[in-house]
């Protein structure tokens, strides 16, 4: 267990492992995304109230779910970086922020596109959309803080503290926003209760959520590999790798 | 010469921070002046109709309080970093948790506390119903303490950066939102004749949570900021 | 990080310290064991990492270096900045000092201020004092502190000739009482006491 933990701290080992994982995970992810999209968009029945416009949930919901989970991945990486001072945890945390921000942005845009036919306007201060917007701000805050530090080792520690503060706050923010929404809006436009969804619509959704998790892992690993190479560019193993690639 | 007890140390820090604040009375008045000026902007922007203003007053007063707290939070540790006091504080053989709490408490006494006391005047300027004024003052007194603690985290993380001013807003404003929701909710409830107790209880719960956790984050942030 | 199991004579030990800044190695392989009654000067040209090493040893720099530091006794660190608040008088600055070591009596503070030739300035707001006088307020802590280990970063900067002599005398008294002094300085240290030199480029203590 402990040796495995130490191995995770070793850049060449992680670089090779991530390469091996990506070799099969990347095609699987692409295949799953295409399959899930086709399943969700073509082979599910239309909603009796919203017609076909609801189908955007096959992008919107997975993006939102994975974006939220991504914040916790970032915070856990941050905690590891603060407690065990592991360089690879720094890199993982740093890689999470832009991916999470992008996913949150996708969720916001698709939510807004969905809102146009459903509510007749591009933007509604709905509880979920507002929470997503705040999550987007939280991600951008981490990115901004990281960029503001010149010393990147310190930047990672500062972002780790910020993301840990964020994990304590996210449930509070979500509950507050939920409560605020129920106070200010009549319940009539509340819909898509998760429990009432028909299995024929639910299964492709769950499939897409899994595919988005794979996508997140792929993006994370690819992002980390670039960062590892950049940080370790002067070490012997990266030089060996470069000459090996250059020679072949 | 006797060994310092932790309580004596915290009391000394608090006294030092308060004396430093009180020796610059003009800076003490600045947040209040800022509050008054921004309040004066709303009638200009929204129109002077008393009904409109009164209906927006809970939100306006709370947002302005939040902004003025944000602006003062930035400075909590800055002068101490510049003159080297901060590195001495971090080397002190005393719990940094309590030192951070003392700093934030002093900052709150000099800003949020005064703002809470002065808030009835601003409430009258916006035509808030007198019945809601106790709720406003009480929610501000509780809520600004939470804001100061959370703002301290942002201050600690950005104090070592040359241009921290804008950044601290980006980091901290999302965390201010629950306080805004329940603070202005309390005032709104008082306006509608509903009990304000539950709102104040939730704000008090936020305060307990942030007293327990925020100083740890502040301490961690200061250790990172000093390590240049 | 006080460790009671170590022999009493060792006040600070460091092993295999290394530091990189911006992809450039400042120093590496520094091994150091400071014992009671030692006077050590860190030597190296500008930018060699003298201040960085001192901050690592003091515990101010916690991230980004390699190696281990163990501190066994209370320490007093005086950095580049004087930690003097302009709005407070010298007396208040010392009485409410953030270093939180002990509560000093008024008499002890006055005696320390007199020792650094600030007698008569106790109640003047510090912003009315010169930079050298700020340094002196800071140096007054050397007369108040009970810490056996002193870490001094360029202590002679901005001090006049008389101040330097007084400071050297204070350091000698501290060393003779079994204290330890680790300092960086560009000036030669004129203390009638065996001086050890730590060369940052070679990592050797001589």
Asked if the structure places residue A91 within a domain, the reply is yes
In a domain, A25, yes or no: no
* Separation between Cα atoms, residue A129 and residue A142, nearest integer Å: 20
Strands C65-71 and C24-35: unpaired
pLDDT in tens, A22-59: 888 999 999 999 988 888 888 777 776 677 777 888 88
* Phi, psi (deg, nearest 5) at residue B42: -65, -45
Do C89 and C134 reside in the same domain of the chain? yes
Minimum mean pLDDT range among A2-6, A14-18, A188-192, B34-38: A188-192
What are residue C68's DSSP bridge partners? C15
Q: Which of C146, C167, C185 is the last residue of a domain?
A: C146
In a domain, C47, yes or no: yes
pLDDT in tens, A124-166: 888 888 889 999 999 999 999 999 988 888 899 999 999 999 9
pLDDT confidence of residue A195: 47
pLDDT of residue A7: 66
pLDDT one-digit tens code per residue, B118-155 = 999 999 988 888 889 999 999 999 999 999 999 999 99
Residue B130 covered by a domain: yes
Report how far residue C1's alpha carbon sits from residue C68's, in angstroms, rounded to the nearest whole number: 11
Q: For chain C, which residues score pLDDT lower than 70? A: 1-8
Q: Which domain holds residue C129?
A: 85-146
Point out the domain boundary residue: C130, C146, C162: C146
C168 plus C190 within the same structural domain: yes
> What value does the mean pLDDT of chain A take?
84
B174, B182, B224 member nearest A158 (Cβ): B224
In terms of pLDDT, which residue wins out, A9 or B1? Answer: A9
* Count of alpha carbons within 13 angstroms of residue B44, beta-carbon side: 5
Q: Residue B4: pLDDT band by 50, 70, 90 thresholds? A: low
Within a domain: A166: yes
Residue A183: pLDDT above 50? yes
Q: Hey, of C19, C52, C64, which one would you mutate to test binding to chain A, going by the most A CBs within 10 A of its CB?
A: C64
Nearest C-alpha of chain B: how many angstroms from C78? 8
- B201 contact A CB<8A: no
pLDDT at A15 over 50: yes
- Answer yes or no: do B171 and A162 touch at CB < 8 A: yes
Domain count for chain B, please give it. 1
Tokens matching residue C141: 């802590």
Number of domains in chain A: 1
Alpha helices in B47-196 (DSSP H): 50-73, 78-82, 85-91, 96-110, 112-125, 133-158, 165-191
- Mark which of C96, C112, C146 sits at the end of a domain: C146
Q: What percent of chain A has pLDDT over 90?
A: 32
Domain-embedded: residue C5: no
- All residues at 6 or more sequence positions from A65 whose CB lies less than 8 Å from its CB, including other chains: A209, A212
In angstroms, the CA B199 to CA A224 distance is 45
Q: A238 pLDDT band (50/70/90 cuts)?
A: confident
Higher pLDDT, B3 or B91: B91
Contact B181 A179 (CB under 8 A): yes
Range of the domain at A235: 55-188+207-240
* Both tokens assigned to A57: 């949930």
pLDDT at A185: 56
CATH number for the domain spanning C16: value is 3.40.50.300
User: Which residues, listed in sequence order, are joined to residue C33 by a DSSP beta bridge?
Assistant: C13
The answer, yes or no, to whether residue A109 has pLDDT greater than 60, is yes
How many domains are contained in chain C? 2
Q: What predicted TM-score, i.e. pTM, was given to this entire model?
A: 0.89
Contact with chain A for residue B205, Cβ under 8 A: no
Q: If you ran DSSP here, which 8-state letter would residue B1 be given?
A: -
pLDDT of C121 reads 84
- Residue A201 counted as domain residue: no
Q: What is the nearest CA distance from C172 to chain B, expressed in angstroms? A: 22
Do C178 and C196 reside in the same domain of the chain?
A: yes
**Chain A hits for C63, Cβ within 8 Å:** 85, 153-154, 157
Task: Report the residue of chain C nearest B21, measured CA to CA.
Answer: C87
What does the pLDDT read at residue A184? 66
Q: Specify the pairing of strand C75-78 against strand C149-153.
A: parallel
User: Average pLDDT for residues A228-232, to the nearest whole number?
Assistant: 84
Instruction: Residue B109: give the domain boundaries.
Output: 6-226
SS in 3 state form for chain A? Answer: CHHHHHHHCCHHHHHHHHHHHHHHHHHHHHHHHHHHHHHHHHCCCCECCCECHHHHHHHHHHHHHHHHHHHHHHHHHHHHHHHHCCHHHHHHHHHHHHHHHHHHHHHHHHHHHHHHHHHCCCCCCCHHHHHHHHHHHHHHHHHHHHHHCCCHHHHHHHHHHHHHHHHHHHHHHHHHHHHHHHHHCCHHHCCCCHHHCCHHHHHHHHHHHHHHHHHHHHHHHHHHHHHHHHHCCCCHHHHHHHHHHHHC
Token pair belonging to B70: 């944000």
pLDDT value at A248 more than 70: no
Q: Which residue of A has its CA nearest to C66?
A: A85
**Mean pLDDT for all residues in chain B:** 90
- The reply to whether C118 and C141 lie within a common domain is yes
Evaluate whether A131 touches B183 at the Cβ level (below 8 Å).
no
Provide the pLDDT confidence category of residue A197 given band limits of 50, 70 and 90: low
Euclidean distance between CA atoms A106 and A120, whole angstroms:
20
DSSP element (H, E) containing B2: strand B2-3
With respect to residue C1, please indicate whether it lies within any of the assigned structural domains.
no
**In this structure, what DSSP letter does residue B119 have?**
H
pLDDT of residue B213: 94
Chain B: give the shortest CA distance to residue A60, in Å: 22
Cβ–Cβ below 8 Å for B1 and C108: yes
Tell me: do C160 and C63 sit in the same domain. Answer: yes
Give the model's pLDDT for residue C2. Answer: 46
Query: Which chain A residues touch B173 with a CB distance below 8 Å?
Result: 137
How confident is the model at residue B1, as a pLDDT? 43
pLDDT in the model for residue A247: 53
Same domain, C153 and C139: no
**C79 domain-assigned:** no
Please say whether the dihedral angle defined by the alpha carbons of residues A214, A220, A223 and A225, taken in this order, is positive or negative.
Answer: negative
Among candidate residues A96, B85, B99, the one with its CA nearest the CA of residue C94: B85
Using a 10 angstrom Cβ sphere, with 0-12 exposed, 13-18 middle and 19 or more buried, the burial of residue B176 is buried
Confidence check: pLDDT of B199 > 90:
yes
């Amino acid at each position: 267990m402990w040796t495995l933990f130490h191995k995770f701290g070793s850049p060449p080992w992680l670089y090779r492992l991530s390469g091996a994982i990506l070799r099969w995970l990347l095609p699987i992810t692409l295949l799953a995304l295409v399959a899930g999209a086709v399943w969700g968009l073509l082979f599910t029945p239309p909603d009796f109230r919203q017609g076909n416009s609801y189908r955007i949930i096959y992008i919107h919901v997975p993006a939102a779910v994975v974006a939220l989970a991504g914040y916790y991945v970032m915070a856990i990486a941050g905690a590891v970086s603060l407690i065990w001072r592991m360089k690879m945890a720094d890199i993982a945390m740093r890689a999470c922020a832009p991916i999470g921000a992008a996913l949150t942005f996708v969720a916001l845009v698709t939510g807004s596109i969905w809102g146009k036919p459903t509510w007749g306007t591009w933007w509604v201060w709905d509880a979920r959309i507002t929470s997503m917007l705040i999550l987007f701000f939280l991600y951008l805050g981490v990115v901004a803080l990281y960029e503001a530090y010149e010393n990147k080792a310190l930047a990672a520690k500062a972002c780790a503290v910020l993301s840990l503060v964020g994990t304590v706050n996210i449930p509070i923010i979500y509950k507050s926003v939920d409560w605020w929404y129920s106070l200010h809006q009549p319940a009539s436009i509340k819909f898509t209760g998760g429990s009432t969804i028909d299995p024929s619509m639910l299964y492709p959704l769950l499939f897409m959520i899994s595919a988005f998790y794979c996508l997140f892992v792929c993006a994370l690993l690819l992002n980390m590999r670039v960062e590892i190479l950049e940080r370790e560019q002067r070490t012997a193993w990266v030089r060996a790798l470069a000459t090996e690639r250059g020679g072949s | 010469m006797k060994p310092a007890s932790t309580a004596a140390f915290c009391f000394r820090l608090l006294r030092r921070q308060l004396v430093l604040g009180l020796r610059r009375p003009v800076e003490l008045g600045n947040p209040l002046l800022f509050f008054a000026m921004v309040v004066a902007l709303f009638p200009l922007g929204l129109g002077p109709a008393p009904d409109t203003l009164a209906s927006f007053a809970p939100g306006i007063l709370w947002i302005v309080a939040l902004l003025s707290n944000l602006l003062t939070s930035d400075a909590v540790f800055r002068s101490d970093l510049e003159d080297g006091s901060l590195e001495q504080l971090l080397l002190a053989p005393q719990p940094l948790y309590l030192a951070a709490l003392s700093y934030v408490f002093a900052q709150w006494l000099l800003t949020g506390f005064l703002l809470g006391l002065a808030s009835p005047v601003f409430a009258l300027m916006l035509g808030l119903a007198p019945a809601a004024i106790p709720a406003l003052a009480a929610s501000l007194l509780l809520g600004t303490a939470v804001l100061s603690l959370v703002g301290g985290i942002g201050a600690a993380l950005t104090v070592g950066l040359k241009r921290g001013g804008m950044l601290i807003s980006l980091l901290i404003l999302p965390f201010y939102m629950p306080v805004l929701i329940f603070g202005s909710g309390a005032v709104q409830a008082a306006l509608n004749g509903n009990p304000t107790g539950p709102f104040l209880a939730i704000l008090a719960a936020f305060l307990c949570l942030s007293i327990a956790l925020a100083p740890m984050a502040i301490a961690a942030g200061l250790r990172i900021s000093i390590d240049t | 990080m006080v460790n009671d199991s170590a022999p009493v004579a060792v006040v600070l030990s460091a092993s295999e310290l290394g530091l990189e800044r911006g992809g450039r190695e400042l120093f590496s392989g520094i091994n150091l064991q400071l014992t009671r009654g030692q006077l050590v000067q860190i030597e190296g040209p500008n930018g060699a990492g003298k201040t960085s090493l001192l901050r690592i040893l003091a515990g101010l720099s916690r991230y980004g270096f390699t190696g281990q530091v163990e501190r066994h006794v209370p320490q007093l660190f005086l950095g580049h900045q004087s930690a003097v608040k302009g709005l407070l008088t010298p007396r208040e600055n010392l009485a409410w000092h953030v270093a939180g070591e002990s509560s000093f009596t008024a008499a002890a503070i006055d005696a320390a201020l007199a020792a650094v030739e600030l007698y008569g300035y106790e109640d003047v707001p510090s912003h009315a004092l010169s930079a050298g006088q700020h340094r002196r307020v800071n140096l007054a802590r050397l007369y108040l502190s009970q810490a056996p280990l002193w870490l001094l970063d360029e202590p002679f900067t901005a001090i006049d000739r008389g101040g330097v002599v007084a400071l050297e005398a204070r350091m000698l008294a501290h060393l003779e009482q079994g204290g330890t002094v680790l300092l960086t300085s560009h000036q030669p240290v004129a203390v009638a006491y065996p001086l050890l030199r730590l060369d940052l480029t070679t990592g050797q203590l001589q």
